[in-house]
């Protein structure tokens, strides 16, 4: 049997094409589901996967470039000039940061900076670093196609740099907001998450997070990152 999208050979029990990620069931007519909607859904998956790879590259680049670790990929951390500590003379981090039309609450122990189309987030002591990007699309659609996302990730150019055989995708809530998280992605030096969060009805967050020392992310560190992202408001 061949994939109706790319023509690659597929097994009879396969649910998705391992080459392009096309859902096998989409080859058959499904009442009430227009074909153009299916194409749009595939396009959304491909779009967020491409952004996810960009986010992965960005977060690894930040860690590999040691002199830029505390400066947001060459950008100075955003600070609030009105929050100077009069006793110590130090400048505190801001309570909020603006990115792509969204306002995020930034805890006092976390640093955030904006560089081009990315929001860089640094945990306490820069022990972990995260990257946030935005993409037009429906979060619910991504959840319904979560198995296809991993297949599409593995099919991307350069994916051989990432070990995904033990990666697990699951939906989890932080601060009352849902996130679709693929955890357990590994490189030679790092353990990474790729995640998607609901920004609003028309947009999603694309997120990558990893630790600077190469050890596995803890639930506390994930909570720090995803709670910040969950605070985003238009």
Q: Three-state secondary structure along 120-159?
A: EEECHHHCEEEEEEEEECCHHHHHHCHHHHHHHHHHCCCH
55 with 146, same domain: the answer is yes
2 with 109, same domain: the answer is no
> How many domains is the chain partitioned into structurally?
2
pTM score:
0.70
Q: Could you tell me where the DSSP H helices lie in 17-107?
A: 35-64
Separation CA 26–CA 22 (nearest Å):
8
The tens-digit pLDDT sequence of the chain (234 residues) is 677 767 777 776 666 666 665 666 544 333 444 444 555 565 566 666 676 777 767 776 776 664 444 444 444 444 333 333 444 445 454 589 999 999 999 998 899 999 888 999 999 888 899 999 998 888 998 898 888 877 777 777 666 777 777 888 899 999 999 999 988 888 777 888 889 999 999 999 999 998 878 788 899 999 999 999 999 999
85 with 174, same domain: the answer is yes
Separation CA 152–CA 93 (nearest Å):
38
**Residue-range definition of the domain harbouring residue 212:** 43-230
172 with 219, same domain: the answer is yes
Sign of CA dihedral 123, 128, 134, 138: negative
Residue 220: in which H helix or E strand, if any? helix 219-230
29 with 47, same domain: the answer is no
47 with 26, same domain: the answer is no
Q: Is residue 38 part of a domain?
A: no
């Amino acid at each position: 049997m061949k994939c109706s999208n790319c023509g690659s050979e597929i097994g009879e029990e396969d649910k998705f094409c391992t080459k392009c990620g096309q859902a096998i069931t989409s080859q058959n007519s499904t009442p009430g589901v227009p074909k153009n909607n299916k194409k749009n859904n595939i396009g959304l998956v491909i779009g967020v996967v491409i952004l996810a790879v960009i986010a992965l590259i960005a977060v690894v680049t930040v860690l590999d470039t040691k002199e830029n670790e505390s400066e947001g990929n060459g950008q100075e951390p955003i600070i609030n000039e009105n929050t100077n500590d009069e006793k110590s003379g130090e400048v505190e981090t801001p309570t909020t940061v603006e990115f792509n039309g969204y306002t995020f609450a930034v805890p006092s122990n976390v640093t955030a900076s904006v560089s081009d189309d990315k929001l860089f987030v640094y945990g306490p002591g820069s022990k972990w670093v995260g990257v946030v990007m935005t993409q037009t699309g429906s979060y619910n659609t991504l959840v319904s196609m979560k198995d296809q996302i991993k297949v599409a990730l593995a099919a991307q150019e350069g994916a051989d740099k990432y070990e995904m055989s033990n990666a697990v995708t699951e939906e989890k809530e932080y601060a009352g907001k849902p996130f679709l998280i693929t955890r357990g992605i590994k490189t030679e030096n790092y353990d990474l998450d790729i995640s998607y969060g609901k920004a609003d009805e028309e947009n999603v967050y694309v997120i990558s997070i990893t630790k600077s020392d190469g050890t596995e992310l803890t639930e506390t560190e994930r909570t720090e990152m995803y709670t910040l992202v969950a605070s985003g408001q238009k």
